[in-house]
Amino acid sequence: MVRNENLKEYSLKEAKNYKIHGRTDEGQEPLPLFSQGSGIEVNVTGSELWIDVEVDFDLYEPWIWTAVNGAFLSRQMLMPGSYSLCLFRGMSPDSVKNVRFFRELQAMSADGGCCLLIRGFRSDGAFLPVSDRRYKLEFIGDSITSGEGTYGGKTDMDWLPMYMSVSRNYARMVSDALDAEYRLISQGGWGILCGWDNDPRHNIPSRYEKICGLAAGERNGKLGAGKPYDFQSWKPDAVIVNLGTNDASAFNQPEWNDPVTGQTFQQRRNPDGTYHPEDIERLKQAVVDFLGVIRKNNPESHIVWTYGMLGYDLTFAITDAMNRYQRETGDTNVAFLQLPAATEETVGSREHPGEKSHARAAKMLEEYLRTVL
């Protein structure tokens, strides 16, 4: 390879013109990318562009994807260390290239050592301003919103970072179709009230008001993940919730026991298979409470609760709770949208929705959002 002697190193401060995607502490340098869908976007001239990153993990390696001029270009896992990745080379130097570098992997609550940071760039071109998109969309969810199952074969069942994505995710598909920026807050296995295994610590609402309350570990804490999120800094036109799938699973699981405190928790069914009234009620209340938290922090946003890509078990419970919330608050800027379930044809790895399933859901959600945005 012929070395380009004209490459110049730019820290983020020196590059100046770039757009940060995803929730992060923008005062940090290097810049942390905590969750999937977080990243950096630049418009740059020149023939060559490299990005300088710092990577670490204990168990689960981060994955990233890149796009040039709106077209998917590459996807790869990252190994620990500080190094440079080439985003393009040999291109016409005078043209302006739009380049996006995004994290594929969700924030890893199970790996406190997992982190991905951007240190800067190297290029022989100039960095130009990046324009805003038409809308801003926030997505809140579980493994479906984390894109679990969007890569890999249908027989693949290992729980691995390479099977998660934003590049084949319904959130990205909807956002691209609507010319929107997007942010994701999601975690596989987590729910509204508890996780799939009845663990009450694994609920998304308890982490929503932090920059990235899902990112574990001391280092992520020092990088700002646990700081209160400034909701005034980025106001979504719509907040899309896709939760309930793991709460439905919890009703079929044994009691959860905390080995340290002895605390127990379980969402129970009656002997006839119906939901225990006390337990379905506390789930409904969790829906009502979370809608209140979302509205408090996003007073002008349209809120749409989506559900159904992996079953419709809690449809009535969620819609009942939403109706209660509307009666109690008078908030009519809230809606429910049932998404099409994954089928044998559209399922992906780990028995999760595959790319075709995400595309079906994205089309329905896109058409709906066009009527309200």
The yes-or-no verdict on residue 357 having pLDDT over 60 is: yes
Under CATH, what is the fold of the domain 135-372?
A: Rossmann fold (3.40.50)
What is the rounded distance in angstroms from the CA atom of residue 162 to the CA atom of residue 174? 22
Supply the pLDDT for residue 3. Answer: 75
Supply the pLDDT for residue 200. Answer: 98
What is the rounded distance in angstroms from the CA atom of residue 300 to the CA atom of residue 114? 34
The 10s digit of each residue's pLDDT in 2-24 is 678 889 999 999 998 999 999 99
- 238 burial via Cβ count (<10 Å: 0-12, 13-18, 19+): buried
Percentage of the chain beyond pLDDT 70 is 99
Helix, strand, or coil (residue 100): strand
Supply the pLDDT for residue 4. Answer: 83
What is the rounded distance in angstroms from the CA atom of residue 110 to the CA atom of residue 215? 8
Sorted by sequence, the CB contacts under 8 Å of residue 44 that are 6+ apart come out as 96, 97, 99, 121, 123, 125, 126, 127, 128
Eight-state DSSP code of residue 27: T
Cβ pair 105, 57 in contact under 8 A: no
Strands 115-123 and 48-56: what pairing? antiparallel
Average pLDDT of the chain to the nearest whole number: 97
Per-residue tokens: 100: 């996006």
What is the rounded distance in angstroms from the CA atom of residue 10 to the CA atom of residue 122? 6
The 10s digit of each residue's pLDDT in 231-271 is 999 999 999 999 999 999 999 999 999 989 999 999 999 99
CB atoms within 10 A of CB 93: 12
The yes-or-no verdict on residue 313 having pLDDT over 70 is: yes
The yes-or-no verdict on residue 1 having pLDDT over 70 is: no
pTM: 0.97
What is the rounded distance in angstroms from the CA atom of residue 244 to the CA atom of residue 231? 24
Supply the pLDDT for residue 2. Answer: 63
**H helix and E strand count, the chain:** 7, 18
Strand residue runs (E) in 97-214: 97-103, 115-123, 127-128, 135-141, 180-186
Supply the pLDDT for residue 191. Answer: 98
The 10s digit of each residue's pLDDT in 124-151 is 999 999 999 999 999 999 999 999 999 9
Q: What integer is the mean pLDDT of 71-80?
A: 97
DSSP string, 286-322: HHHHHHHHHHHH-TT-EEEEEE-TT--TTHHHHHHHH
Domain boundaries, the chain: 8-128, 135-372
In the chain, the amino acid numbered 165 is S
What is the rounded distance in angstroms from the CA atom of residue 216 to the CA atom of residue 87? 29
What is the rounded distance in angstroms from the CA atom of residue 334 to the CA atom of residue 320? 13
The 10s digit of each residue's pLDDT in 197-224 is 999 999 999 999 999 999 999 999 999 9
Supply the pLDDT for residue 263. Answer: 94
Q: What integer is the mean pLDDT of 333-354?
A: 98
Q: Give yes or no for a cis peptide into 30 (omega within 30° of 0).
A: yes
What is the rounded distance in angstroms from the CA atom of residue 268 to the CA atom of residue 44? 56
Helix, strand, or coil (residue 355): helix
Under CATH, what is the fold of the domain 8-128?
A: Jelly Rolls (2.60.120)
Strand partners, 31: 118
Supply the pLDDT for residue 5. Answer: 81
